[in-house]
Chain A
Amino acid sequence: MSFLPHGMAFRQALHRLAGKPLSTLLSALVVAIALTLPALSYVLIDNLASLANGVTGKPEISVFLKKEVTAEKAQAMENRLRADKRIVAIRFIGRDTALKQLAARGGFADVTGALSENPLPDAFILEPGGEDPKVFEAIRTSLTAMPEVLHVQLDSAWVERLHAAVELGRWVALLLAALLGTALIIVTFNTIRLQILTQRHEITVSLLLGATRAFVRRPFLYFGLLQGLLGGVLAWGMVQGLVLLIAPRVQALARAYNIVVDLAGPSVWQGLALLVFAAVLGWLGAGLSVRRHLHDGAVD
């Protein structure tokens, strides 16, 4: 197989792109905008997923003690808990400390100041080993049975909810990608349709001189691929730029929740995947258009 016709078709497609720079840029921008929305969504969701993964490894169990439990009884309970192999870390938070922490949080100082007495109980924060939800549940059950315990709260539920939200976000990003990918195909389809119309004479003459359908088709396919690729490059840049733009605002918001967020742009692999996605859709749009418009009537 000779690659000469492909090289020629590729150069022809490049020539067509370069021949109408404004039209090329506008089409590539439309493609880029269509790609930016799902790509940006995906990158943001990916950041959120990283954040969620960071907290998944440390589920906590909060154990609130009854008011009548004395310091000695609490100490004895702590010793029993430390003997439990399923628990890897224990932290005691006395009711006074808990009140101070609550007061330190924005907006709660006035509330705690107005209280006549401290309503908060003493508590243990336990860190169970492993990641098996069944083990967490078993620990919770055994803690609930202890006479000193008022309430046990397994703090992994919100992480599960966060994971579910991330998963939902991923699906939304994928749906957006499918929807806007279709838009990209339509844009390329129409660009190629117009090209076929303007080059009808050349196509007819070429077919008359013995050109195969593949010979006529190829430059249009490469054009679609290159236009998609160009749109992909622009989209990559746009996503990177937008991430840089919104990162300080996200960080400011995260600080308000005592979370450190380092918003990352698309990785090299994600960027390359975006380029491949854009190029394939461009090729597909061009292929559909050529199939639809390059019928036998081209030769008369």
Chain B
Amino acid sequence: MIRFEHVSKRYDGGHEALANVSLEIRHGELLVLAGHSGAGKSTLIKLIAGLEKPTAGKVWVSGQDVGSLRQNQLPYLRRSLGLVMQEHRLLTDRTVYDNVMLPLLVTGYPPRDAAKRVRVALEKVGMGTFEKAMPLTLSGGEQHRVAIARAIVNRPSVLIADEPTAHLDPAYAREIAALFRSFHAAGVTILLATHDDTLFSPYGARRIELAKGRLLA
């Protein structure tokens, strides 16, 4: 499903974020990518989404070499991925409903069916009654749920989350972890980058660890 072949990434300033990383994430797998801040977890996610290009090596997603995709092909790759970024990136001038609707608008989904999908996604993350709320009136955990709803509304085959439980109190963090568990149970491939992997160990997730851009054995 996702394969890294001897991938290195060095940024313009000379900082090496990833060094000769090779890994494979199989279809339907729940993978926890552990590592401290600055270990290279976010860079790895950006390489999968085509937000960065590898300096060396190849990144394959669903049989496509991401680094060789043209600018006009990248949107279609991103639509197959559900991305939950660490800082939510919700649009604060739009309602919860409109935020979750955005991926469907972007893909030109028929409006009538889109409304149903948005409501289903919000129900799945337990935010069904917050449709008309504005993001800034929600707690951090609720905002995170909305971001997850936005990531799953397109029914992606892969769900990728960067620090999904960061800055959340333990109760909220457990709820979020349980949500990802339920998506995995439904057959979605999941990649979770986190510095605290204890939350996911009860779910039988495979764990790999990054340190200073290198994959630890």
Contact = CB atoms under 8 A, between A and B. Distances in A.
Interface of A: 2, 4-5, 8, 201-202, 204-213, 215, 296, 299-300
Contacts of A209: 78-79, 83, 102-103, 106, 150, 154
16 contacts: A4-B108, A4-B110, A201-B91, A204-B89, A205-B91, A205-B102, A207-B78, A209-B103, A209-B154, A210-B76, A210-B79, A210-B106, A212-B75, A213-B71, A215-B75, A296-B71
Contact of A215 (B71, B91, B106): B106
A81 to B, nearest CB: 79
Nearest to A205: B89
A60 to B, nearest CB: 69
> Quick one: which of B77, B106, B150, B154 has the most chain A CB within 10 A?
B106
> Quick one: which of B72, B107, B154 has the most chain A CB within 10 A?
B107
A126 to B, nearest CB: 74
Interface of B: 49, 51, 71-72, 75-79, 83, 85, 89, 91, 102-103, 105-108, 110, 150, 154
A207 to B, nearest CB: 7
Contact of B102 (A201, A206, A300): A206
Question: Main SS of chain A's interface residues?
Answer: helix
Contacts of A202: 91
Contacts of A205: 89, 91, 102
A210 B89 contact: no
Contact of A208 (B76, B83, B110, B154): B83
A298 to B, nearest CB: 11
A110 to B, nearest CB: 79
A20 to B, nearest CB: 13
A208 B71 contact: no
> Quick one: which of A201, A210, A213 has the most chain B CB within 10 A?
A210
A180 B85 CA distance: 46
B153 to A, nearest CB: 10
Contacts of B75: 207, 210-213, 215
Given A205-B89, A208-B85, A209-B102, A5 B78 contact: no
Contacts of B89: 201, 204-205, 208
Contacts of A8: 105
Given A205-B89, A205-B91, A209-B102, A300 B76 contact: no
A206 B71 contact: no
Contact of B72 (A4, A204, A208, A213): A213
A5 B111 CA distance: 11
For the complex of A and B, list the 5 residue pairs with the smallest distance between their C-beta atoms, beginning with the closest. A210-B79, A210-B78, A211-B106, A209-B103, A210-B75
A210 B72 CA distance: 10
B108 A2 contact: yes
A208 B85 CA distance: 10
A299 B52 CA distance: 10
> Quick one: which of B49, B76, B85, B108 has the most chain A CB within 10 A?
B108
A27 to B, nearest CB: 21
A5 B110 CA distance: 10
B106 A300 contact: no
Contacts of B76: 210
A201 B92 CA distance: 10
A140 B187 CA distance: 100
Nearest to B92: A201
Contacts of B103: 209-210
